[in-house]
Chain A
């Protein structure tokens, strides 16, 4: 069974540029999460989707970050414009439902110059 797929794996951009990350969850998983992981720290939740509905986006910096999960399957996370402090690993995870085991993708490592 395929796991959570994320692309790209690495991205280097200059500050003020836009960037987008893509996630394909495990088939049949209704719940999808985006996490941010800074160097040396544990992941922090940015947003959680139940199907296509964002049910917890309290930690998403809405001035520059946006996310969508059209049709309740794939999801994209966008940053516009990127700042130096956005350099981090962006992880996507999915689970059957909100209390299920979360399966994580490999993450996208973003470097903002």
Chain B
């Protein structure tokens, strides 16, 4: 499985965009990039996923570099409720679509 590398923590100001980086330099062609987040005392929550193209939904945008070796999750207008641990995961049929969670990035949104 391709591994991901994320910074352990980052702070963000409320109302500003939060840009969360993820490195997946060993990703292969059929592997998707998934993002989940986990708010304190809750189960993980799906945010977004992509293969090659940039993706956007009501929660976030996902920017994947052309070589697919890294990606950035963008929370356009962070709120206090976005404070959570964010997990970047590589997923594919070759590993039976397993979600292999690392330690993630602890994002703290400050007023």
Q: Which residues of A contact B (CB under 8 A)?
A: 4, 40-45, 48, 56, 91, 93, 98-99, 101-107
Contact = CB atoms under 8 A, between A and B. Distances in A.
Contacts of A105: 43
A103 B43 CA distance: 8
The DSSP consensus for interface residues of chain A is loop
- Interface residues of B toward A: which range? 10 to 19
Q: Which of A44, A48, A91, A104 has the most CB of B within 10 A?
A: A104
Given A45-B98, A99-B97, A106 B103 contact: no
Given A41-B103, A44-B101, A104-B45, 7 more contacts: A41-B101, A42-B102, A42-B104, A43-B101, A102-B99, A104-B43, A105-B43
A106 B41 contact: yes
B13 to A, nearest CB: 25
Given A106-B42, A106-B43, A98 B97 contact: yes
A82 to B, nearest CB: 22
B21 interface: no
B43 A99 contact: no
Contacts of B101: 41-44
A102 B96 CA distance: 13
